[in-house]
Structure 1
Amino acid sequence: MSVVSGSLKASRLCIISSEAATEKASRWATFLNCPINPPNPEEFFFHLFIENERVYVRDQERRLLEIDFDKNHLDYERKGHRGKNELIAKALGIAKGCHKILDLSVGLAVDSVFLTQLGFQVTGVERSPVLYALLQEAFEKTQKESLRTYQLYYSDSLNFLKEKKGQLDIDSIYFDPMYPHKKKSALPKQEMVVFRDLVGHDEDAAEVLKEALTWPVQRVVVKRPLHAEQLLPGVRHAYEGKVVRYDTYVVG
Structure 2
Amino acid sequence: MSVVSASLNSKICVVASSEALSKAQAWADFFKCPLNPVNLSDFFFHFHVENDRVYVRDLENRLLEIDFDKNHLDYERKGHRGKNELIAKALGVAKGYRKVLDLSVGLAVDSVFLTQLGFEVTGVERSPVLYALLKEAFAKTEKEYLKSYQLHFSDSLQFLKENKGKLDIECIYFDPMYPHKKKSALPKQEMVVFRDLVGHDDDAAEVLKEALTWPVQRVVVKRPMHAEELLPGVRHSYEGKVVRYDTYVVG
Report the equivalent of 1:204: 203
**C-alpha contact (below 8 Å) 1:91/1:239 kept by paired residues:** yes
5+ residue gaps, structure 2, are none
Report the equivalent of 1:72: 71
Partner SS, residue 21 of structure 2: helix
2:214 corresponds to 1:215: yes
Report the equivalent of 1:128: 127
How much does 1:167 deviate? 0.2
Report the equivalent of 2:233: 234
How much does 1:8 deviate? 4.2
- RMSD across aligned C-alpha pairs, in angstroms? 1.0
Query: How far apart are the structure 1 equivalents of 2:56 and 2:4?
Result: 19
Query: How far apart are the structure 1 equivalents of 2:151 and 2:208?
Result: 20
**C-alpha contact (below 8 Å) 1:7/1:129 kept by paired residues:** no
2:162 corresponds to 1:163: yes
Q: How many residues align?
A: 251
**C-alpha contact (below 8 Å) 1:106/1:112 kept by paired residues:** yes
Query: How far apart are the structure 1 equivalents of 2:187 and 2:215?
Result: 38
**C-alpha contact (below 8 Å) 1:8/1:32 kept by paired residues:** no
1:31–1:136 distance in 2 versus 1, CA, 3 Å? same
Report the equivalent of 2:99: 100
How much does 1:166 deviate? 0.2
Normalised by the length of structure 1, the TM-score is 0.98
1:221–1:197 distance in 2 versus 1, CA, 3 Å? same
Query: How far apart are the structure 2 equivalents of 1:50 and 1:19?
Result: 10
Report the equivalent of 2:138: 139
Normalised by the length of structure 2, the TM-score is 0.98
Percent identity over the alignment is: 78
How much does 1:131 deviate? 0.2
Higher alpha-carbon deviation: 4-13 or 46-55 = 4-13
Report the equivalent of 1:83: 82
How much does 1:35 deviate? 0.4
1:22–1:61 distance in 2 versus 1, CA, 3 Å? same
Report the equivalent of 1:61: 60
1:225–1:239 distance in 2 versus 1, CA, 3 Å? same
Q: Deviations over 1:137-195 (max 9, x none)?
A: 00000000010000000000000000000000001000000010101353100000000
Q: Which amino acid aligns with 2:72?
A: H
How much does 1:97 deviate? 1.2
1:185–1:151 distance in 2 versus 1, CA, 3 Å? closer
**C-alpha contact (below 8 Å) 1:48/1:58 kept by paired residues:** yes
5+ residue gaps, structure 1, are none
Query: How far apart are the structure 2 equivalents of 1:205 and 1:241?
Result: 22
Query: How far apart are the structure 2 equivalents of 1:7 and 1:147?
Result: 32
**C-alpha contact (below 8 Å) 2:9/2:32 kept by paired residues:** no
Query: How far apart are the structure 2 equivalents of 1:191 and 1:91?
Result: 28
Report the equivalent of 1:187: 186
1:10–1:26 distance in 2 versus 1, CA, 3 Å? closer
Query: How far apart are the structure 1 equivalents of 2:65 and 2:3?
Result: 24
Partner SS, residue 10 of structure 2: coil
**C-alpha contact (below 8 Å) 2:45/2:56 kept by paired residues:** yes
Query: How far apart are the structure 2 equivalents of 1:17 and 1:49?
Result: 6
Partner SS, residue 61 of structure 2: coil
Query: How far apart are the structure 2 equivalents of 1:155 and 1:78?
Result: 28
Partner SS, residue 130 of structure 2: helix
Following TM superposition, where does structure 1 have runs of at least 4 consecutive aligned residues deviating by more than 4 angstroms? none
Query: How far apart are the structure 2 equivalents of 1:8 and 1:63?
Result: 21
**C-alpha contact (below 8 Å) 1:7/1:34 kept by paired residues:** no
